[in-house]
Structure 1
Amino acid sequence: MTFLDVLGIIALCAALWAVFHLIAGYVAQRLPLDWLVGWPIIGASYAWERGGRCYEWLGIRVWKDHLPEAGGLLRNGFSKRRLASAEPDYLDRFARETSRAEFGHWLTWALALTFFLWTPAWMGLFMVVYGGLVNVPFILIQRYNRARLRRFIARSVRRSARAD
């Protein structure tokens, strides 16, 4: 295999990753939000996440805002870059949209398995590891934000109930 062959494969892999992200984003955007939220792994926050606090030891508060956010790029998309409102319906939608984003990143990572169909096994493995390194931070951000939003919503509901 020549150097140009290797460069060609690298260029093709890079292009495929871009396509995978677009496909996953498109598919995630088209799936019903209620269906995505119902998935146990994607739609739920678990006790071991401690309301998102378990991700803080990774320094997530420091680096999460430095990664790109593409939720608002697609038609009818939902940007999760910043909170636009403190209204309960908006906060609930934001929390639910984190499930859509998380699903999109899991799907992108899963598409890495297609590399095994046409590349040597070592390269397929490399692409799966690369896919994890690229997508896991975004998955963690979605899980962190969803847990924090759910915690905030629950606290707001308790305050409102006490005020009544």
Structure 2
Amino acid sequence: MLSFIVLCAALWVSFHLIAGYVAQRLPLDWLADLPIIGASYGWERGGRCYEWLGIRVWKDHLPEAGGLLRDGFSKRQLASAEPDYLDRFAHETSRAEFGHWLTWALALTFFLWTPWQMGVFMVVYGGLINVPFILIQRYNRARLRRFIARSARRSARAD
């Protein structure tokens, strides 16, 4: 039983690494144009819908691994208020969100070699692990887009 648990843990680590690698290699514009990931929805209210989950309190306590990969982009904090940087940051949230969706989707492979109950458990576990990160990316992207739009309006008024 212990060896099975170790195998499952190693698979989850592998899933995260594989998904991160794949997401890092995909073009940002392609990721941002993906349905679900790149789209903002009215019900999200510019990210405000996530605030009732207390996201402002807990989001900074979760790990951020974007800067660990070669050519990665850390999303731990804003490094600049320049429009190009903010736009890249918003696009990088799409990359991170895609990586977490892919990691979660890889849980389906457990159905190939374990009893169906274990497959269900792993899909639920994958959701519990990845959904908070997906929500953080959606929240941050919506906030960045609001800020970029507000800055553009101010700049247009100043001109």
State how far apart, in whole Å, the 1-side matches of 2:35 and 2:104 are. Answer: 18
Residue equivalent to 2:157: 162
Segments of 5+ residues of structure 1 without an aligned counterpart are 1-5
**CA-CA distance at 1:47 after TM superposition:** 1.3
Pairing partner for 1:108 from 103, 106, 131: 103
Paired residue type of 1:75: R
Residue equivalent to 2:35: 40
The TM-score with structure 2 as length reference comes to 0.99
SS of structure 1 residue aligned to 2:68? coil
Residue equivalent to 1:25: 20
Pairing partner for 1:58 from 53, 56, 61: 53
How many residues matched?
159
Aligned alpha-carbon RMSD (Å): 0.5
Paired residue type of 2:98: F
Question: Do residues 83 (structure 1) and 57 (structure 2) align?
Answer: no
Q: Structure 1 runs of 4+ off > 2 angstroms?
A: none
Residue equivalent to 1:3: none
Rg larger in 1 or in 2?
Answer: 1
Identity of aligned residues (%): 89
The TM-score with structure 1 as length reference comes to 0.96
**CA-CA distance at 1:43 after TM superposition:** 0.9
Question: Do residues 74 (structure 1) and 45 (structure 2) align?
Answer: no
Residue equivalent to 1:121: 116
Pairing partner for 1:144 from 139, 142, 146: 139
